[in-house]
Amino acid sequence: LVARMRPFGTTIFAEMSALAGRTGSVNLGQGFPDTDGPPEMLAAAAEALHGGHNQYPPGPGIPSLRTAVAAHQHRFWGLDYDADSEVVVTAGATEAIAAAILGLCEPGDEVVCFEPYYDSYAASIALAGALRRPVTLRPGADGRYVVDPDELRAAFGPRTRLVLLNSPHNPTGKVFTRAELALVAELCREYDVYAVTDEVYEHLVFTDASTRHTPLATLPGMRERTLRISSAGKTFSCTGWKIGWASGPAPLVSAVLRVKQFLTFVNAAPLQPAVAVALNLDDTYFTAFQAGMQARRDQLVAGLADAGFGVLPPEGTYFVTADVTPLGGRDGVEFCRALPERCGVVAVPTQVFYDDPEAGRRLVRFAFCKRPEVLAEAATRLRRLT
């Protein structure tokens, strides 16, 4: 194995899902829903499978999906992209992120990112021979994670090539505020760098949150330097389909496509028309999806608080972070490894998302994208901890 990949072992998601399987635990580790997405989408996939859509689709994705991706962004965020030259379909957001970094970073370039970060970021940056410059998100007095403006400013420099921003943010559930986004935008303009935004949770911002989801590309001067990434997995509860996309100015989208050709070439022909159908669903789907997930969040937050955890309630995403110290825990990894034996629940230690494991040592992440009865069972089991 090459040196640059040696620091990366098996992902925590695979390890913890395997542990859940072995122990028969309720799996609140890896973030995937336990119910299927919209029936119209599933029917369209079945129809495509039986209707001869089983050979290589066009490299950038089928035209109807690219059109639907563009229309969706216009409808929800007021962003206009040309479906032919400014949208590319990828094998999930994961491929879009990797292809963007591989296509835009020279060895030695620096990528500013926010820690804790989704685990594929560090690996993609390493594959490109680039270097990460993490800025640490820290919980403030009210439990909300905040960006230190001085730390953010200090992360930018002459070697910065791009900033990789994930909002709503996995694993903290943070939604970046307008002021934080404005500072990111200001620094991107000042240093003349690109932004790659991971917005896979764009439809999962809770209505009681004090902030709204704002794509960075909508800020002044940002559309022309931002590559915006999202995927069907989260919004349409089909994480196994791996249909994602990137939108942005044609040169950035071309860079992704150039790399994508040699990573996967094309992906998932019969699922592409189905995702197009899903993106074109009317607003009631998106509103109901968000409301359903907010109710699940409330249920799990209450269950965790009841079990004695220190809960940091999220403003968005699938995830809630909890402090294990009130339960006598000292280390999230030890805590998560023991949890299946102790009570039959699986969670993910937050420290694996940090460069500095001290920063997240006492925190664990639970996913609430599960049926209410599953969350109720998890809460019952977690109460055995005290």
Residues that bind ligand GLN (CB under 6 A): 11, 13, 30-31, 170
The binding track of 46-85 with respect to ligand PMP, each residue x by CB under 6 A or -, is ----------------------------------------
- Which range in 46-54, 239-247, 280-288, 368-376 contacts ligand PMP by CB under 6 A? 239-247
CB of 54 to ligand GLN, least distance (A): 26
Distance between CA atoms of residues 7 and 18, nearest Å: 21
Helix (H), strand (E) counts: the chain: 13, 15
CB of 118 to ligand PMP, least distance (A): 4
Which residue number, 92 or 215, has a Cβ lying nearer to ligand GLN? 92
214 binds, among ligand PMP, ligand GLN, none (CB under 5 to 8 A by kind): none
Q: Confirm or reject binding of residue 94 to ligand PMP (CB under 6 A).
A: yes
**b/e sequence 112-137, b meaning 16+ C-beta within 10 Å:** bbbbbbbbbbbbbbbbbebbbbbbbb
Q: Confirm or reject binding of residue 272 to ligand PMP (CB under 6 A).
A: no
CB of 23 to ligand GLN, least distance (A): 18
CB of 185 to ligand GLN, least distance (A): 26
- Of residues 81, 114, 118, 368, which one binds ligand PMP by CB under 6 A? 118
Backbone angles phi, psi at 346, to 5 degrees: -115, 135
CB of 120 to ligand PMP, least distance (A): 7
Contacts of residue 298, Cβ cutoff 8 Å, sequence gap at least 6: none
Distance between CA atoms of residues 375 and 301, nearest Å: 10
CB distance 341 to 384 below 8 Å = no
Q: Confirm or reject binding of residue 316 to ligand PMP (CB under 6 A).
A: no
> Is residue 18 helix, strand or coil?
helix
**b/e sequence 246-261, b meaning 16+ C-beta within 10 Å:** bbbbeebbbbbbebbe
Q: What is the DSSP string of 195-206?
A: EEEE-TTTT-B-
Nearest CA to 208 out of 141, 118, 321, 294 is that of 294
Q: Confirm or reject binding of residue 166 to ligand PMP (CB under 6 A).
A: yes
CB of 338 to ligand PMP, least distance (A): 25
- Of residues 116, 233, 249, 332, which one binds ligand PMP by CB under 6 A? 233
Q: How far is CA 13 from each of CA 18, 30, 86, 197, rounded to the nearest angstrom?
A: 8, 5, 32, 22
Distance between CA atoms of residues 255 and 229, nearest Å: 14
SS3 string of 211-269? CCCCCHHHCCCCHHHEEEEEEHHHHCCCCCCCCEEEECCHHHHHHHHHHHHHHCCCCCC
CB of 210 to ligand GLN, least distance (A): 24
13 binds, among ligand GLN, ligand PMP, none (CB under 5 to 8 A by kind): ligand GLN
Q: Confirm or reject binding of residue 237 to ligand PMP (CB under 6 A).
A: no
CB of 198 to ligand PMP, least distance (A): 5
Q: Confirm or reject binding of residue 17 to ligand PMP (CB under 6 A).
A: no
Which residue number, 180 or 198, has a Cβ lying nearer to ligand GLN? 198
- Of residues 198, 202, 315, 323, which one binds ligand PMP by CB under 6 A? 198
Distance between CA atoms of residues 373 and 347, nearest Å: 17
Q: Confirm or reject binding of residue 239 to ligand PMP (CB under 6 A).
A: yes
CB of 204 to ligand GLN, least distance (A): 12
166 binds, among ligand PMP, ligand GLN, none (CB under 5 to 8 A by kind): ligand PMP
Q: Confirm or reject binding of residue 256 to ligand PMP (CB under 6 A).
A: no
Contacts of residue 385, Cβ cutoff 8 Å, sequence gap at least 6: 307, 308, 327, 342, 343
DSSP 323: E
Q: Which residues bind ligand PMP (CB under 6 A)?
A: 92-94, 118, 166, 170, 198, 200, 231, 233-234, 239, 242, 244
